[in-house]
Amino acid sequence: MHFFGLVDGSESSLKSFLNNLPPVDQVGADARAAMLGTRSIKTSSKAWAINTAISMVDLTTLEGADTPGKVKALCTKAVRPDPTDLTVPSVGAVCVYNDMVKIARNHLDLIGGKDIPVAAVSTAFPSGRASMAVKLQDTQDAIDAGATEIDMVIDRGAFLSGRLGEVFDEIVKIKAICGDKAHLKVIFETGELVTYDNVRKASYLAMLAGGDFIKTSTGKVAPAATPPVVMIMLEAVRDFRAITGHQIGVKPAGGIRTTKDAIKQLVLVNEVAGPDWLTNKYFRIGASALLNDLLLQRMKLTDGYYESPNYVTVD
């Protein structure tokens, strides 16, 4: 692998590339992201945005208390988010822990959700604190069980202590296991990266190492997918495509709970990266509670009144 001809894979080449990236001005980035949050999306645009957002949801359950029954219920909802309205699109993927992959895959196949990928969180999610052997096996297990998307976490401890080569190698190795069987999403846990400069560096590092998607967070740490962080990642994928011709996806996850939040994310995509990213091939939203709010807002648009939350399923 030639890493797009930009680095040779050594830590020194990585450092010289990443340290040469333009910095991010925090005040300016916050102001721009806040400004984009004021765009007004109404009527037909809103209807389109809600459908698009539903199709981008990585419907997620990542709890210690996950049961096979809960995962199956989630899969059913993923295929038909609103059983009373067949025009509602299916979600982008189902995202579960390793051991639930097989159950999810089988159930999706059973109920007509063959096209919905199963994403597995990997590499000792959410902390990333385990040996390389365990992380590789974790990933292999998920792929063997039928996962076609791998959401790996980077080793933030290594990143923050400056061992960028280690973080890079890890992504390269996981990518090698994924091969052409699975899409690789690289989770940064932006809430732990401290600065916007680090978010930009991590974005380039993951893209250079072969990640197919860059993802903000695990959902276990706050703050997570804040608008400025997502904006910086969208700038990174936009600029990376301009340099390499390679289009990388973005997945905000964590903290996006309402339709308004989701639409703000779509505005960011449209304004920063551009309409080429307004598809679930290149933009996903990791969420669990969000889907219900999208469905309720969709009902409001079609029926003209707000439905009781009791009309959407809890899980």
Q: What's the CA gap between 194 and 67, in Å, rounded?
A: 35
What's the min distance (Å) between Cβ of 207 and other proteins? Answer: 16
Which residue carries 């707000």 as its tokens?
306
Name which of 41 and 136 has its Cβ closer to other proteins: 41
235 binds other proteins (CB under 8 A): yes
Alpha carbons within 13 angstroms on the beta-carbon side of residue 165 total: 7
From 170, 53, 151, select the one nearest 96 (Cα to Cα): 151
170 binds other proteins (CB under 8 A): no
Instruction: Say whether 239 is catalytic.
Output: no
245 binds other proteins (CB under 8 A): no
CA distances from 124 to 63, 73, 97, 130, 131 (A): 14, 25, 10, 6, 9
Q: What's the CA gap between 215 and 194, in Å, rounded?
A: 16
Collapsing DSSP to helix, strand or coil, 202 comes out as: helix
**Letter for the amino acid at 154?**
I
The piece of 56-64, 127-135, 204-212, 266-274 that touches other proteins (CB under 8 A) is 266-274
Instruction: Say whether 251 is catalytic.
Output: yes
Which residue carries 């973005």 as its tokens?
250
Which residue carries 């990640």 as its tokens?
211
The piece of 142-150, 160-168, 217-225, 263-271 that touches other proteins (CB under 8 A) is 263-271
Cβ atoms of 253 and 223 closer than 8 Å = no
Residues 274-293 binding other proteins (CB under 8 A) are 275, 278
Give the number of other Cβ atoms within 10 Å of residue 75's Cβ.
Answer: 26
Distance of CA 188 to the CA centre of its chain: 10
101 binds other proteins (CB under 8 A): no
What's the min distance (Å) between Cβ of 242 and other proteins? Answer: 8
Give me the sign of the Cα torsion angle 187, 232, 266, 172. Answer: negative
What's the min distance (Å) between Cβ of 102 and other proteins? Answer: 37
19 binds other proteins (CB under 8 A): no
Residue selected from 39, 163, 220, 300 as contacting other proteins according to rule CB under 8 A:
39
Name which of 272 and 295 has its Cβ closer to other proteins: 272
Residue selected from 2, 5, 43, 87 as contacting other proteins according to rule CB under 8 A:
43
233 binds other proteins (CB under 8 A): no
Residues 6+ apart with CB under 8 A from 257: 287, 289, 290, 293
49 binds other proteins (CB under 8 A): yes
User: Which entry of 72, 77, 135, 215 is annotated as an active-site residue?
Assistant: 215
Name which of 141 and 239 has its Cβ closer to other proteins: 239
Name which of 92 and 228 has its Cβ closer to other proteins: 228
Instruction: Say whether 185 is catalytic.
Output: no
Dmax over CA atoms of the chain, in Å, equals 59
41 binds other proteins (CB under 8 A): yes
- Which amino acids are annotated catalytic? 151, 215, 251
Site residues for other proteins per CB under 8 A: 22-25, 28-29, 31-32, 38-45, 48-49, 235, 266-267, 270-271, 275, 278
